[in-house]
Chains A and B, each alone.
Chain A
Amino acid sequence: MTKLIIELTINGKKKKVETTPSTRLLDLIRDDLHLTGTKEGCGKGECGACTVIMNGELVASCLVLAPQADGAVITTIEGVGDDKGLDPVQEAFIESGAIQCGFCTPGMILAAKKMLEENLHPTEEEIKRGISGNLCRCTGYQKIFDAIRLAADRLSSRDGGRGEEDA
């Protein structure tokens, strides 16, 4: 099989990986880089468990081929939060009890983070739209919704108190 080498920046680190043209980004992340926080639930772009942020966009990594990620900047769940502490979205998930089995959690957190980066004051509809591509079978979504609301409120008050408007 043809091999090729791609370079990407993942969670702030530059990596060179040998791969094949037909390898999915998801497999590259999980099997080659052993970043197993990114999950596979359907392999078809339907569940959102494999969500990562690539070049600023949310993508289903099961639908991206490795060569398409050449030169890309990617954030996976392992790149959220740092040594000093958790990201506010992660904190909110814990505090709101938004986690049951946790399999959808990495994808949910990335989707929520991306949404809040673009919009600190999401309406109910916007929150729902933001994670409508992520399936969760355990929580019934309510507490995930609550967690995002909480994170939004906290982030926007840090942002100068503008979060009060629609809180």
Chain B
Amino acid sequence: MKFSEVNKPVKRVDAYEKVTGKAKFGADLFFPNMLYGKALHSKYPHAQIIKINTEKALTYPGVKAIITAEDIPNNKFGVIIQNQQVLAQEEVLYIGDGIAVVAAETKEAASEAIKLIEVEYKELPGIFDPEEAAKKDAPLIHSELEDNQVVHHRVRKGDVEKAFTQAEVILEREYTTQFVEHSYIEPEAIIAVPYEHNSLVTIYGSIQNPFSCRNAVANVLKVPLNKVRIIQNHMGGSFGGKDEVISSMAARAAVLALKTNQPVKMVNTREESILESYKRHPYKMKYKVGATKEGKLVAMEIKCIADSGAYACQTPFVTWRSVVQATGPYELPSVKTDTYGYYTNNIYTGAMRGYGSPQIVFAQESLMDELADELKMTPLELRLKNIYHNNSITASGQKLDNHQVSLEEVIAKAVKASNYIEKYIEYNKSQLGDKKRGIGMAVSFRGCSLGAEATDAAGAIVAIQRDGSILISSGLAENGEGLKTVFSQIAAEELGVDIKRINYMEVDTSVSPESGATVASRSTLLGGNAVKNAAQQIKRTITEMIADKFKVKSGDLVLRNENIYNKNNNQKIMSFDDAVDLANKLGVFLSAYGWYKAPDISWDEETGQGRPYFTYVYGCQIAEVEVDTATGQIEVLKMVAAHDVGRAINPVTLKGQIYGGIMMALGYGIMEEVEIASGYIKNTNFDEYLIPTIKDMPEIIPIIVENPDPHGPYGAKSIGEPTLELGAPAIANAVAQATGRRIRHLPLNLERVLLGHSLSKGGTKNDIL
């Protein structure tokens, strides 16, 4: 198939404003009469609030208002379970809980005033370990609930007990992962403007999901949705992170704006951001796998426990993705998986790029390598014996028969590009000196879009203006990944026009169609289909109008190269501009509302059987590392990443997603950890919470594999998240080969690697391998 606008490296539509500093992010907006808001956070991870005295603070010069939980019309919100406090009412449940918010004429006054707020606490013992929280007699984090369980998901397939009795090799392993900070470089920013235009309150800022933010604010204020207007600005990164934390900030600012009748701006410092924003869930994962001597998997039993922290946030959905994908892309006749989420007094956890997959992929891919060792096979052989193919049945009983299952292809391409086979043999030989090399792989399958997590639909408006310029508006927000460009390309492709005609509007919840969230790497698939649908409707209107006038069949007309042609004789009938003029004259309406609803899916919560996702993507990454066994230093030398994306609408933005995902995975694998001790967060800025810099960048080889999917626009699926879930296990497997010691906890930091060194002295490496 030939395309004119899609499948091409088109420049980003927002690049000019971003290189010149003109692009406005949340914190860059100023309104007349604007006040600055600042929140006072808790002193303890768990405490009763006895008394709050704001009198002194109120007298500080420039202070206009102070709110506490008492001033919030409805203090609880949440996308799935409404139990997150806008401001702590009777108890603080984690260290980042807000107690009061000040609005003042200057930032300085707001900062000074919060120091003058007196809070009397009664410190309470906290629970900081989800396994403690799971115990029968554990104190309740949310007193209105019966226990501390947020959720429990199951998958049941076959008879696991019986299957294990038939297994010739059984391995049981435990893996754990850490709290991780999104580390978007732009800290959260919100401005609430009261009574602007016809809205009660208009909110601007770095908002990942304008519609969930609107829901939260309207709910908190107890007003109808059409009174709250959210306008998204440029976002300085999000990665799943600017959702609930932003909703809470927006709700606070909205209450203050209405109280003072002045715009209120709130911008977090990095410290505040790390202290109050939710993190990626740490998991404890117990895996038991049974196989035949020949390496055919027969059974897997999995138990994963996620720390949800103080609130439910997105734990129910995050752990659901984990339960669906926990076995990895391997054929297994018998599976028993349980995933749980528990409340604790740690910082709460929510959506972060990967959404419940980076944890389980780390476990399952480490396990496959351990099993390969046990069976004296190479990791590659073991995987090839067990991976999904077309028509394989997943752990959820879903037959993969509606798209190309391309695992073998992505593995083959990654293996070739990395020289895996030769290097694996080479690095298995004993290596002289302290510096040892290793190579490791990881593979995955990933359900596209939301799956049975929620109703999955998206809308878009395409509107042709009088002069032929085009506006697109969709409810899906640009988070920096290049979505505006991709959607513009799709509309241009359908209408046969140059992309320069198109302007993509910022999301405005009072105008744009509600489209759910920019999560789960669903935007290209869902939003892209909605844009395509709208553009197709307009195309139909145009061709029918011309057919009528020129007495040709509308089906014979094609839109291409800025013109309309008769496809039978390739004759140009008129230009696109003339068609727009004609429509203006005839009073033909050239706008359309496009809608796309994802194909049906199903899920049985008791057994975990059904069709959890309507399609999947497949990927394989291979890491090559060098470990200095004297210092514990890990250097990632090379990453090869092969991903089946369905169709690459824009190869440039796509490769950008792969590079970015790999570096974030590298941080996850070897550097990053939010250190939490008894609920207190120790590293709250980038001097202590280290993320990769350009010096950590390995050679990265992205390989884009295209097997167009019947459901995606032009066959496109998703890429944002799959790129992130494979890096850490691939690196862990490479480190294990290099050092001869398996580390089952992320991150693989210096101490863990060094400990491995001291224990493996004396050549254990060759014994193990």
Q: Contact check, A101 vs B236: say whether CB atoms are below 8 A apart.
A: yes
A49, A95, A103, A132: which has the most chain B beta carbons within 10 Å?
Answer: A103
Known A103-B236, A105-B19, A136-B185: A97·B653 in contact at CB below 8 Å:
yes
Selected interface stretch from A65-73, A76-84, A158-166 = A76-84
The B556-591 residues at the A interface (CB cut-off 8 A) are none
Within the complex, what minimum Cβ distance (angstroms) separates A130 from chain B? 9
Q: How far is the CB of A59 from chain B (nearest CB, A)?
A: 17
The stretch that binds A, out of B7-15, B73-81, B370-378, B518-526, is: B7-15
Q: A44-B685, A76-B21, A78-B21 are in contact. Are A94 and B16 (CB under 8 A)?
A: yes
CA distance A27 to B30 in the complex (A): 13
Judged by a CB distance under 8 angstroms, whether A138 is at the interface is yes
* Inter-chain contacts of A34 with B (CB < 8 A): 30
Chain B residue contacts of A140, Cβ below 8 A: 656, 658-664, 697, 700
User: Do A109 and B236 touch (CB < 8 A)?
Assistant: no
Residue A13 lies at the interface, judged by CB distance under 8 Å to chain B: no
Q: Would you call B230 an interface residue if the criterion is a C-beta within 8 Å of the partner chain's C-beta atoms?
A: no
Tell me, yes or no, whether A18 is within 8 Å of chain B by CB: no
For residues 84 through 110 of chain A, which have their beta carbon under 8 Å from a beta carbon of chain B? 86, 90, 93-95, 97, 99-106, 109
Against B, the Cβ 8 Å flags (1 = close, 0 = not) of A100-144 are 111111100100000000000000000011011111111111111
Contact between B656 and A100, CB atoms less than 8 A apart: yes
Q: Are A128 and B695 in contact (CB under 8 A)?
A: yes
Q: Say how far B126's CB is from chain A's closest CB, in angstroms.
A: 29
The answer, yes or no, to whether A4 is at the interface (CB within 8 Å) is no
Residues from chain B with Cβ under 8 Å of A46 in the complex:
685-687
Q: How many A-B residue pairs have CB under 8 A?
A: 176
A31 and B694 CA atoms in complex are apart in Å by: 30
Query: How far does the alpha carbon of A80 sit from the alpha carbon of B20 in the complex, in Å?
Result: 7
A100 to chain B: closest residue by CB: B480
In the complex the two chains form, is A42's CB within 8 Å of B685's CB?
Answer: yes
Residues of B666-723 contacting chain A, CB below 8 A:
685-687, 691-695, 697, 700
A131 to chain B, nearest CB (A): 6
CB distance from B38 to the nearest CB of A (A): 14
The interface residues of chain A lying within 8 Å CB-to-CB of B14 are 102
Cα separation A78 to B480 with both chains bound (whole Å): 21
Q: Is B235 touching A143 in the complex (CB atoms < 8 A)?
A: no
Check B27–A139 contact: CB distance below 8 A: no
Using CB atoms, name the residue of chain A closest to B481: A100
> When the two chains form their complex, are residues B21 and A128 in contact, meaning their CB atoms are under 8 A apart?
no
Asked, given contacts A42-B685, A97-B9, A100-B481, whether A139 binds B24 with beta carbons under 8 Å apart, the answer is no
Given contacts A101-B479, A132-B693, A144-B694, contact A137 B183 (CB under 8 A): yes
Instruction: Please determine whether B237 and A138 come into contact, CB atoms closer than 8 angstroms.
Output: yes
How many whole Å from B32's CB to the nearest CB in chain A?
Answer: 13
Smallest beta-carbon distance B238→chain A, Å: 8
Contact A137 B656 (CB under 8 A): no
Best-surrounded residue of A93, A139, A140, A141 (most CB of chain B within 10 A): A140
Asked whether A36 is an interface residue with its Cβ less than 8 Å from the other chain, the reply is yes
Interface of chain A, helix or strand or loop or mixed? loop
Pick from A37, A99, A132: contact of B695, CB below 8 A. Answer: A132
Number of B interface residues in the complex (CB < 8 A): 60
Interface membership of B595, Cβ < 8 A: no
| A107 → B minimal CB distance (Å) | 9
Interface string of A38-74 (1 = CB under 8 A from B): 1111111011010000000000000000000000000
* Interchain nearest-CB distance for A50 vs B (Å): 11
Q: A35-B21, A102-B234 are in contact. Are A143 and B30 (CB under 8 A)?
A: no
The reply to whether B12 and A97 form a contact with Cβ atoms under 8 Å apart is yes
Cβ-defined partner of B27 (8 Å) among A40, A42, A77: A40
Chain B positions within 8 Å of A106 at CB level: 21
B18 touches A105 (CB 8 A): yes
CB distance B686 to A137 under 8 Å?
Answer: no
| Interface pair B694/A128, CB less than 8 Å apart | yes
Known: A46-B686, A140-B663. A103 touches B21 (CB 8 A): no
Q: Is the CB of A41 within 8 A of B185?
A: yes
CB distance from A32 to the nearest CB of B (A): 11
Q: Point out the residues of chain B lying under 8 angstroms from A99, CB to CB.
A: 12, 15, 18-19
Nearest residue (CB) in A for B30 is A34
Once the chains are docked, how many angstroms separate the CA of A39 from the CA of B23?
Answer: 11
Which of A35, A97, A131 makes the CB contact (< 8 A) with B656?
Answer: A97
B187 at the interface (CB under 8 A from A): yes
Q: How far is the CA of A142 from the CA of B659 in the complex (A)?
A: 7
A135 to B9 alpha-carbon distance, docked (Å):
25
B621 to chain A, nearest CB (A): 13
Could you say which residues of chain B place their CB within 8 Å of the CB of A129? 695
Contact of B19 among A31, A93, A131 (CB under 8 A): A93
Contact call A95/B236, Cβ cutoff below 8 A: no
Complex CA distance for A106 and B186, rounded to whole angstroms: 13
Further pairs besides A41-B236, A137-B660, A140-B662: 8, Cβ < 8 Å = A31-B107, A34-B30, A36-B28, A77-B20, A81-B20, A94-B11, A128-B697, A141-B694
Q: List 28 interface pairs A-B (beta carbons < 8 Å), by A numbering.
A: A30-B28, A36-B25, A37-B22, A39-B185, A39-B236, A41-B686, A42-B270, A46-B686, A77-B20, A77-B21, A78-B21, A93-B19, A94-B12, A97-B11, A99-B19, A100-B481, A101-B236, A102-B236, A103-B184, A103-B237, A135-B686, A136-B694, A137-B664, A137-B691, A138-B656, A140-B660, A140-B664, A143-B655
Task: Please list the 8 inter-chain residue pairs (A to B) with the smallest Cβ-Cβ separation, ordered nearest first.
Answer: A37-B21, A101-B480, A103-B236, A140-B659, A102-B18, A77-B21, A36-B28, A140-B663
